[in-house]
Structure formats: C-alpha cells, structure tokens
C-alpha cells in the first residue's frame, strides 16, 4: 500500500532520527548491535514478503535472519540472543509489545519462554509500518541502519 497524500520524506526523517537514538548497550566502549540488527531483519522480511502485516512474532524465520545478520556485522562475537532486542526495543518508542491477555505481567524476563508465554506480538508505530510498505523508503531505512548503525567505522 502506497499512500498518495502522505509525507514519506518527513516520516523517513523522523524514524531515521529515532533509529539514530536507539538505546544500545555499551560494554568496554563497544556498542551492542542487537537492536539495529533486529530492525534490519524485520525490514528484510517485509522486503521479501514474509512479513505482511504489522504483527511481528518471534518466529524461526525472524530469529534465523537476525542471527545471520548479526554474524555478518559482528563475525568475531557471539550473537546476542534475539529475545533481548525483541523485548528491549520497546524502550525506543516505536516498537510496541502486545501482551497476551492485554496486561503486562508483574515480573519481566527476556527469556524465550517468557516471550512465548506472555507476548502475543509486537507492532510498530503505524507511520513506521506505512514507511516500511513503501519499497523506496524501506530501502532507505535499511541502508541507513547498515551505514550508520552497523558499519564498523560507526
């Protein structure tokens, strides 16, 4: 779906700003790339038609794509388990957890079991989803992540 009366440029600028400001863990001066890698994996799955609606579930396709990308951009480091960025991206403002039963459980864990037992799915901001449905802007966001968040000289 491509909207005719929608400011894609403004929307793209807004979300590149949000992606620039991702809260990423840093250890010994090294920034963890798990969040941008997961976003890139989601965008690639949209690009290939695997993800067709704004309902992201932690599937084997998503996990395999994430692990492959992580290993490509950090080949000398074991990949951060996908359950960590899958949960923690909610703190960045555009990644929204939809809890099973509609309520956040009292105790939080980032384990696979916790996600399977408590998270129904993730949805993105509607504007970000609309942007990802546009092939040109999806590619721009993917390139932005690769060049600004995953390039070794970042």
Measure Cα distances from 137 to 14, 25, 116 in Å: 12, 27, 32
Q: How far apart are the two ends of the chain, measured CA to CA in Å?
A: 33
pTM score of the predicted model? 0.94
The phi, psi pair for 94, rounded to 5°, reads -125, -5
Q: What is the pLDDT of residues 17-35, one digit of tens each?
A: 999 999 998 888 888 999 9
Q: What is the pLDDT of residues 99-134, one digit of tens each?
A: 999 889 889 888 999 999 999 999 999 999 999 999
pLDDT value for 151: 83
| Phi-psi group of 49: left, alpha or beta (phi > 0 → left; psi -120 to 50 → alpha; rest → beta) | left
Q: What is the pLDDT of residues 53-74, one digit of tens each?
A: 999 999 999 999 999 999 999 9
Tokens representing residue 21 in the block: 């400001």
Provide the b/e sequence for 30-67 (b: ≥16 CB within 10 Å): eebbbbbbbbbbbbbbbeeeebeebebebeeebbebbb
pLDDT value for 153: 65
Helices 135-144 and 126-133: angle between axes, nearest 10 degrees: 110
Which residues have CB under 8 Å from 96's CB, separation 6+? 90, 122, 123, 124, 125
| Nearest of 32, 59, 38, 31 to residue 119 by alpha carbon | 59
């Amino acid at each position: 779906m491509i909207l005719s009366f929608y400011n894609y440029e403004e929307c793209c600028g807004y979300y590149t700003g949000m992606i620039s400001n991702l809260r990423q863990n840093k250890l010994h001066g090294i920034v963890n790339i798990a969040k941008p890698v997961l976003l890139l994996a989601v965008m690639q799955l949209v690009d290939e038609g695997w993800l067709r609606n704004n309902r992201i579930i932690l599937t084997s396709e998503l996990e395999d794509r994430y692990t492959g990308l992580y290993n490509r951009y950090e080949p000398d480091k074991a990949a951060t388990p996908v359950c960590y960025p899958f949960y923690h991206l909610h703190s960045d403002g555009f990644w929204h957890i939809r809890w099973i039963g509609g309520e956040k459980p009292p105790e939080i864990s980032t384990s696979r079991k916790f996600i399977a037992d408590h998270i129904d799915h993730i949805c993105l901001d509607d504007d970000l989803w609309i942007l990802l449905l546009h092939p040109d802007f999806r590619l721009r966001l993917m390139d932005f992540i690769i060049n600004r968040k995953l390039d070794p000289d970042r």
